[in-house]
Structure 1
């Protein structure tokens, strides 16, 4: 039994809880110490003090006090609940769930413990446990709608669609009066139920429910119209489906998917369909919505021959007249067809010739009318079109499917001569330099383009990216710092980390890796992995928030997206970079060990062996020199990083010299909340790992799980598992890579490497099943 408190101390205990909830940690500690002074073995107060200590960053002290509180009062649900909260705060969700269950046995009626347990269960995807918890919460409080909806969600995620629908229907049957049309929660619940019905595969029933329950009452009108059109298309009701898609096109005539769906509903997307009938649909909407780009552009995807040329001319020339910068981006997908590619370039060349002639004529006329022949000539519409055509052709010849860098350079220079202040023209020039392989000039050209518009975040980011590609890490950070928070001027990288700017961290890490600064490269790749961990943890708050707000469909999408979050291309790229870096670290360590062993062996040999092995001695000397150079480069990189850190600190001190706080005081705020300090700012601990292959496995495992179709992931996984002696896993990666690219030379090399490794290894020590599989593949 918990030690009883006096009325005054009980009020003080409630104040401790309030202080913790409001993050007033100093006051909470003071109040807790007052209680413990009179009641030194009051477990609940000890537990709350442990929570406050954990909030201040004193994790070890908090856990020790939390365990002591449990030994004092094992039957206190507060002590067990707090113990679970401590584990949850430190991301040990399995142990937190166990503690919550103990607390729930002691206090089965506690809604707070039950809610915390349910949230952890859905976070850990324990759907069966989540169903049980939500069922118990519904029985305890059947009045709020969100308890019914939450139980339906639990059954839905657990795969029991029938039960999920039944739960929602049961609640609807309890309503005596229909909810008002302004009830957002009801509107979302109706559409969510419709989604569940559709997922069962009964599209006709989903359509009937949509038209009876959602068409008039739902606040999300667009979603209702889209679902209705999709259902009608799936059911093959062509006329009704076409009418539904036409209604959506009238709402948004620039949505390409609506046009494609309309064509599909009418059965005009099949091979050999009537081209004229299909074109008539787009012509109808081009006339109805003259400013719609999609209705004019999409026919170019399916038209061929003379008709394509005619329509391409009608689309291209007005766009060039207006100088639309995105014109090439809109049309480059047509280059998959060689005939269309030739027609497009020929039309732009034709337009350019006409525009140049018109511009020359206009210039001559203007010059003859000027009393002073040296006066600047005004820009005309023809010169605008000429610049747009030159820009298009520069991009055309810079594109990988039509690459001719000499021509691209020629057209780009002509465009710049017309308008030297155009950011788009200067950016294209930088891209041409990049494709030529001159990263230094590409970086300078992109930075010049940035200087033409210093308020544009996009061009600023491109300039920083090109600087990173040229291994200019410090310059890139200064460039991107122009758009970070003003108060982070001393340390812009911290702001980029707060904003989770993954593209910069990826490029920065790859640049450091090319420079041989392994510590900083690993620092960036680990930062990216940490960002994805944060994204996964951030869903924690949405488990309750989405139910409170009634945003159920978006919540289901969030949960399913979080389940596959690590198939994101940015994660895959950073993980492969890190894994390869760790593999190279392992290989370098092996070479160093071999070189050291060779050197030591040579020192103990006699003079005859030295005389007969001059070549070996020379090789050993070369290896030693290479090792010395490598250590020298690493030392230089470390020195540069320390210098950069010192300069940043000095800059921060100069910007705010009146801050008289000590380092300890600066690490905590007024309430004692400890700010996390980076214990390894240069990544030296990461670079000094004793198990690089183990670290590489941590990065490659999510890639193999969530992006199995990525051949680079499979090839890298093979390299890691082969070096670790995990031959069965290496074989699995090898077979997956062979299935993705059967004729790959790299796959052949890895097959030979695995065969050679199996010949050298003692296969008899492997489990019998593994031996059997390997023998079948490599007899």
Structure 2
């Protein structure tokens, strides 16, 4: 047991705590040392010293000292609390929760420990534990609304909505005086309770509560929207229509209000005239309203559509609105509407040219009309549903002649070159567009993205660096990391992957993975902040969003790219940190051996430097004087030098499969990793999921056959239980299926599809190695398919090159003739 402290030492201990809270770490350590001189085994002081040391970046030393503190006083709640705080700082929340619970047993009345425990429980989605903690906190602080609200949220997140409502009602009944109408916390609490009632499905009760308790709510827009929604759900259509009209009067551009109004009026989808009359009325009432003129084009057909579209387009062309095509392109799903829109714009151009009298121009400046119409047609022919790149280039060049300084026109010209396949010219053209407006961040971003697509990493960094902070240590790239600029990191990583610089590619993708971890951790502060500020609806919405965080396309794209790199590292390990090992021998083998040795030395050097920096954590400080974390692998050398790429890939595979199970790309990637790890049951799970999404998918077809071959080859090594499960679940191929015949049937069914044809030929080559030459020749013939796209041709060319096929040059020449402006098919590419 530690020696009791004198009054002077107790004062010093309180000073240690204040110094820690004020981030005066040197003073805190000095005060702690004074106590420890006379009481070297005082556990609480040792624990506080450990906490201060951890804040200085000396994590290992802090944990060691904290363990000493526990040895000195195992029954000190301070020591256990600090131990939990150290684990929390290290993101080891499970161990932190254990330490907090032990501290709470020793000091059940500690509000601070109870609060810290509750925050970690909700962070880890331990709803039952959070509910228990909140009940305990409510018992001790029942006079604070926050305690009641937090308990209601706990029930809500557990799915017990009736109990959540009951808790909120109980608190309201304890109030002696009604809250002021300007009380924001009460206003939010009322709307939160209303959402809880509505989630239970009792819409009438929700409406009654809204009209009684919420009639003076401060969030007027939410009140009006919910009232209209409830009235519509209760089939009180006249009142609902009136409510939606009031909303449209507030915001005449919001589509959902118009949808609600037409539903409330009982109009059928086929009642085009009645629906159009509603929109016409608002177009007349709000002359500047775009939605009332644009939305009818979604449901009108034939002559009605042509007339309405002509009025809308002429109005937009006269004003020179550049976003007109973007506003209409989703109508291109209907072929008749697509052609009608093109004809209207072409007619507009012809009429403008023939009409030289400016007196007839009543809407806008006549000089804007023709360039805007040419711009529309350029986008029309550049769009994938109506693509004719030669015409698109012709129209955009004509538009640029009329308005040579239009950024939008030059951007579209760059896109056209991108679709041609000339990435260099696309990048140069986008850079010309950027030069026309150097203060526009959007065009700056576009230019940098095109440079990255053209593998011009340094130029892209310089371009985007025009909008980063000049004073940031580490330059533009460091600022982009700090700002979590994921589009740049993703594009940069994919650029490095294309160049074979897998270390840097993995570095970028891992950074994106870490950013999502940061987002996951960032919610921690909101568990207390949102309750304190009374923003309960936003808090619950955030919690639900966080639960599906890694469904975000940014994560999926980075994860799939990282998995692809790891698969390449597994199939063809690196020798110099940049390029895969090819099929070579002799001098090449010696060169690879030399390069591998060099790479190992560089990795060892980086590790030594990292260790040195770790021993001097205070050498580099940030602007706030905090210890700045050092990057011990800036080039990604360690990531690329992995000896277990498939194990490393799992960190991307697991969340991808968990949060994006309906993504066929995710299931395909999961299969590729699991089959290489010989995890056949998990590979089968991915295969079955992918097959359920698209059984005829080119890669799924190949994976079915490869799985069959793999289990046949490893049948003796399979555990009896595993073999039994595979036999019962793997029904995609009957046991007696002739794989060659099965593959040939697939090829015959999809002879007109380049990607599926190539997939079948790859499998034929796998099944019959003696037919490799004929498979290569048949693969090269897909260039003659009318439906083949440039991207499919590019993939086929890469495949032939990986086979070192003799028909590669012939295929490339034919592709170059078919897409003469695509640089990927040039002889030097």
- Flag whether TM exceeds 0.5 (same fold): yes
Q: CA deviation at 1:101?
A: 0.6
Partner of 1:737: 690
CA distance in 1, matches of 2:505, 2:63: 34
Q: C-alpha offsets along residues 242-269 of structure 1, whole Å, 9 cap, x if unaligned? A: 1111111111001111111211222324
Mapped pair 1:695 → 2:679: no
Report if aligned partners of 1:356, 1:382 keep a CA contact under 8 Å in 2: no
Q: CA deviation at 1:79?
A: 0.3
Q: C-alpha offsets along residues 479-509 of structure 1, whole Å, 9 cap, x if unaligned? A: 0000001212751111111110000000000
Partner of 2:59: 59
Pick closer, same or farther for the CA change 1:465–1:10 going to 2, 3 Å.
Answer: same
**2:487 partner SS:** helix
Pick closer, same or farther for the CA change 1:414–1:621 going to 2, 3 Å.
Answer: closer
Mapped pair 1:326 → 2:310: no
Partner of 1:479: 463
1:668 to 603, 616, 621: 621
Partner of 1:435: 419
Report if aligned partners of 1:523, 1:683 keep a CA contact under 8 Å in 2: yes
Pick closer, same or farther for the CA change 1:621–1:324 going to 2, 3 Å.
Answer: closer
CA distance in 2, matches of 1:131, 1:490: 45
Partner of 1:708: 661
Q: CA deviation at 1:694?
A: 0.6
Pick closer, same or farther for the CA change 1:284–1:13 going to 2, 3 Å.
Answer: same
Mapped pair 1:159 → 2:159: yes
Report if aligned partners of 1:396, 1:403 keep a CA contact under 8 Å in 2: yes
Q: CA deviation at 1:355?
A: 2.1
Partner of 1:717: 670
Mapped pair 1:275 → 2:275: no
Partner of 2:39: 39
**1:708 partner SS:** coil
CA distance in 2, matches of 1:317, 1:630: 65
Aligned ranges 1:99-178 → 2 under 5 Å: 99-178=99-178
Question: What is the aligned length?
Answer: 713
Q: C-alpha offsets along residues 261-296 of structure 1, whole Å, 9 cap, x if unaligned? A: 2112223244xx321111111111111111110001
Q: C-alpha offsets along residues 580-610 of structure 1, whole Å, 9 cap, x if unaligned? A: 1101100113999xxx9xxxxxxxxxxxxxx
Report if aligned partners of 2:575, 2:599 keep a CA contact under 8 Å in 1: no
Partner of 2:702: 749
CA distance in 2, matches of 1:760, 1:484: 55
Q: CA deviation at 1:773?
A: 3.2
Pick closer, same or farther for the CA change 1:280–1:621 going to 2, 3 Å.
Answer: closer
**1:303 partner SS:** coil
CA distance in 2, matches of 1:435, 1:122: 48
2:526 to 542, 562, 575: 542
Partner of 1:681: 634
Pick closer, same or farther for the CA change 1:296–1:672 going to 2, 3 Å.
Answer: closer
Aligned ranges 1:239-254 → 2 under 5 Å: 239-254=238-253
Q: CA deviation at 1:739?
A: 1.2
Partner of 2:225: 226
Pick closer, same or farther for the CA change 1:633–1:405 going to 2, 3 Å.
Answer: farther
RMSD (CA atoms): 2.5
Aligned ranges 1:371-382 → 2 under 5 Å: 381-382=365-366
CA distance in 2, matches of 1:763, 1:554: 56
Mapped pair 1:521 → 2:521: no
1:568 to 539, 548, 552: 552
CA distance in 2, matches of 1:687, 1:620: 17
Q: C-alpha offsets along residues 399-433 of structure 1, whole Å, 9 cap, x if unaligned? A: 01010000000001001111111100100110000
Report if aligned partners of 1:24, 1:671 keep a CA contact under 8 Å in 2: no
Q: CA deviation at 1:239?
A: 1.2
Aligned ranges 1:249-260 → 2 under 5 Å: 249-260=248-259
Partner of 2:293: 296
Report if aligned partners of 2:572, 2:582 keep a CA contact under 8 Å in 1: no
CA distance in 2, matches of 1:636, 1:261: 68
Pick closer, same or farther for the CA change 1:95–1:305 going to 2, 3 Å.
Answer: same
Q: CA deviation at 1:234?
A: 1.4
Q: CA deviation at 1:638?
A: 12
1:505 to 489, 497, 512: 489
Q: Which runs of 5+ in 1 are unaligned?
A: 363-379, 597-618, 642-662
Report if aligned partners of 1:667, 1:675 keep a CA contact under 8 Å in 2: yes
CA distance in 1, matches of 2:723, 2:534: 52
**2:678 partner SS:** coil
TM-score, length of structure 1 as denominator length = 0.88
CA distance in 1, matches of 2:379, 2:729: 53
CA distance in 2, matches of 1:671, 1:389: 55
Q: CA deviation at 1:35?
A: 1.3
Q: CA deviation at 1:635?
A: 11
**2:573 partner SS:** helix
Taking CA–CA contacts closer than 8 Å with sequence separation of 6 or more, which of the two structures ends up with the larger relative contact order?
Answer: 1
CA distance in 1, matches of 2:527, 2:280: 48
Report if aligned partners of 2:503, 2:639 keep a CA contact under 8 Å in 1: yes
Pick closer, same or farther for the CA change 1:670–1:546 going to 2, 3 Å.
Answer: closer
Pick closer, same or farther for the CA change 1:489–1:139 going to 2, 3 Å.
Answer: closer
Report if aligned partners of 1:430, 1:446 keep a CA contact under 8 Å in 2: yes
CA distance in 2, matches of 1:620, 1:460: 38
Pick closer, same or farther for the CA change 1:94–1:255 going to 2, 3 Å.
Answer: same
